[in-house]
């Protein structure tokens, strides 16, 4: 499905998904910053044995339950997005998670989404995954995991 073939209803669904993702993104950033600050503090504490850490984010996009291809006993993942978040609390400006508009189409003349705001996660779906617009319209649940790895050396 080409973007110019989207109906007004489908465009509104995509805008709604973008809002959902922006809200999720804001929550995840807030939590990741808190975790990162705590871990940076632990690293600075000479009495703590922590040597290093990693913070990674995994976001799973699941097919809508009412879709004909949905299988009850399956994961039904459409795609998974991975992001690296270590040092996000002190280098937030280098992460694409800021409030910038990540709309790939805002410089395209006459594009149907030209004037829309796109959060980073929405942009990632249409520009950095293998999903097409029809796939994106079939996203139901979204699951996210912030994974922290504590590293200790001998």
Q: DSSP of 81-139, one letter per residue?
A: EEEE-TTTTT-GGGSTTSS----TTTTSTT-TTTT----HHHHHHHHHSS--HHHHHTE
Report pTM. 0.88
pLDDT, residue 14, reads: 95
**What tokens appear for 99 in the block?**
């409030």
pLDDT, residue 154, reads: 80
CA distances from 4 to 45, 61, 113, 152 (A): 56, 24, 9, 52
Cβ atoms within 10 A of the Cβ of 103, count?
20
pLDDT along the chain (154 residues), means of 10: 81 96 94 96 94 97 96 95 93 70 74 81 93 96 98 90
pLDDT, residue 94, reads: 64
pLDDT, residue 1, reads: 64
């Amino acid at each position: 499905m080409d973007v110019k073939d989207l109906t007004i209803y489908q465009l509104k669904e995509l805008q709604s998904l973008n809002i959902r993702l922006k809200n999720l993104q804001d929550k995840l950033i807030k939590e990741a910053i808190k975790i990162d600050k705590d871990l940076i503090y632990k690293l600075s504490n000479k009495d703590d044995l922590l040597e290093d850490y990693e913070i990674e984010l995994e976001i799973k996009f699941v097919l809508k339950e009412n879709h004909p291809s949905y299988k009850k006993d399956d994961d039904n993942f459409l795609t998974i997005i991975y992001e690296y978040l270590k040092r996000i609390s002190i280098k937030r400006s280098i992460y694409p998670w800021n409030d910038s508009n990540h709309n790939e189409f805002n410089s395209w003349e006459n594009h149907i989404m030209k004037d829309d705001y796109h959060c980073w996660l929405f942009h990632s779906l249409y520009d950095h995954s293998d999903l097409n617009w029809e796939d994106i319209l079939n996203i139901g649940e979204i699951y996210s995991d912030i994974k922290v790895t504590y590293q200790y050396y001998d």
